[in-house]
Structure 1
């Protein structure tokens, strides 16, 4: 046979799916190493083998994450530590893994770098929790998932279990257990008995218990690691929360500083002495002050939609403004501009004046149909100032500046 033919035969051997129990060669067991399942034929054979009720060994299927050439779960380590207690297959995430998922019961698929142990029998088909999926979302999670799969296998397949006859698989036919002097039917019955025969060897039971203890210890270590990770994440979250609180405190402090600066700028925007010297008539002076406040407070983009509504200065308004103490005239002017433009500042408590304090009391209405309204100039004390004004349609008449407890329109 020439070298080219040998290479061709070797390539054909690699392409041929080897799904099922170990082959027997020369009377000795040859352990099947982790095999890659990627072709449609190999996927079909693997699905049939996983669903075979007579399968006598657990099967581990490890997925390779999309875009990666190697699995994060260490298949070589599993093969070395498990020996021939289970079969191991690798499958790429993509067409192959989805094709396998289509042939398996719901919630028993494997993909995205995770691995799953499929026990013998059919119970796992009805209860997917019997075939737990071990996640590895990145290379760093590979060792943990490898340990979990190792524990799964050693729990289901303890050491020193006597050899049992393997059934035929979809990919290959294994030599049957033969006994001299038995007919074909008797030999089949003997093989079935061998499959279901479970020896009561104390050493094997002790080994099984030791493996269970090892699995519990591994789970304890895993939970301890997860607890440490959770505590680390919680500490990071708390630190971030403290940083956010500190940042919010700085932002709030800056807001208060800007409000003070804005107030100072507004105070400087009206020349000193303007309130006293611009007009001889007090009514014209107040209208002038109100117009300047409107120009200052209403943005140019809103002046067309927020004009000063028509208003009248009532006979008691200017005297009350001049005689009441503890009230800044500029503050009264600003609130009047808010009333005339419909601008709403927080805390103004705008409402109709009632004839008394009863819950269903009617509003104060003049003979001409105008309704008396009340708006806060100050807050926080019985002496806090209020502005009373009459409204009839869009027209406004400024009535009086009063203290909080004065309910006279």
Structure 2
């Protein structure tokens, strides 16, 4: 069977699968779907049990009826079993009662963080704390709060902080001076804390490799201290949840109620039998703010911790599904989880990732078009070159309707929302919380008007200090504004790319076999790609050069798999118009006789010079386009090859 006949057969199979109906969100055919790492029962064998999905793909399915199985990537946490009690968010043992850790009998390990605030006074204590953070096994996060120079108390309200993270993290206060110097000397650069700043040190010690994994929270005044405290509480809760170090609760009871709204980053619930409770998003689903989990009027139920009034609603988490039947192009919100030159990793549900190849995301390097944390639009597309439905990031033109993202809790709001241009200009990120800090400042400091609130005006350096603090706050505002502009430029670029790619697809629909002669068919596709890619005003300056199809080019195009035919056509257009010379991603260079830099260049007897352009980058056996540039200026398409093939 020819490759083109195989494509038609796959298209028929794809349509049959698409007519099958519902598939779980996160299931793409021809693409790998990875669920988030399990955190205990309900996330191992159960979460990985697979069933048939669209076009033969597999995805996580609900497990046995012994208890609810979390949706893929919904930060699975210990779930109920026939012999285990109902799950609950582990919580603090009670209000803080001591400023120092309670003594633990020799050989025993405390089951939860010490309550209250522990003060580090001497250099020896500070150095010992640093060594503990760097070397010893940690059972929970440690929040280190420092005093500003010349201040006896930190601007961050440490007692309030300790009360809020009780059972989640340990709180330590350290003065700036000899103690902070001793602390800093024991830690790698950029991982220290001093001068009124604070940070959370996670048990996984990721901050040793990446200091930005433990963000600094600055406070220049009591007003800044209150804001920094909220960020530190969120950091501590998120870190404890991710590290599975949340302390065990003393007791819980099953309750139900109605969401009243949100206060700060917490969801406020009016309980049916009186009283109120709070839903902590950091302890429910990682990386999702409260406004994307619950909404006013929503009915919720879960386990209530009477000591802290935290309500655990994790067993309400659902396995979202999406209707694909009859949809030629289904646009859905996705969150960018990672970006590499080779492609983009996105989430349809938290932690349930799909890898999108670079050629289905951007014209060149995806890193210039996407940023982790952004909410963008993905499109489910029936691709003849793949085994069914494929998720692409280059087919939304900004005008077509986007299917709402699924709710993570029954009756809740969509967990993602694509921000309109006006919202992005205001620093919104689609409600994921991924860039919320940037909208306020890079470090949690606030209004420039507060910059001088704590300055001793009798200090001769007070004017300089005031100026520096105001400049710092203004620079944060400028950073937030520039970030917003960059997001808007990326969004506009994605929409322009989507309109062009949609035009290309519409232009080729039903025209894949417009000519019996394969060479004429290729020329037709090249012309269509040129007409759709090059703007009308640039066509005179970017004409298609004279070219001919080499004797083995079509055979290599048909037999070499792993690269989309449309991508080859696009690169041919870039070569013929001169665009390839201006695009770093094409890695255009003369073809040599071997893979070493000293090998001779390929030159034919007629004087034609061999050239090599990248069709793919940083992928296994990345494909290349070989062509000849003849003395009369004509381009001869030679072969489509794998990376290590240096034959012309």
TM more than 0.5: no
* Structure number with higher helix proportion: 1
Normalized against structure 2, the TM-score is what? Answer: 0.28
Structure of higher RCO (CA pairs closer than 8 Å, 6+ residues apart): 2
- Structure 1 or 2, whichever has the larger Rg, is 1
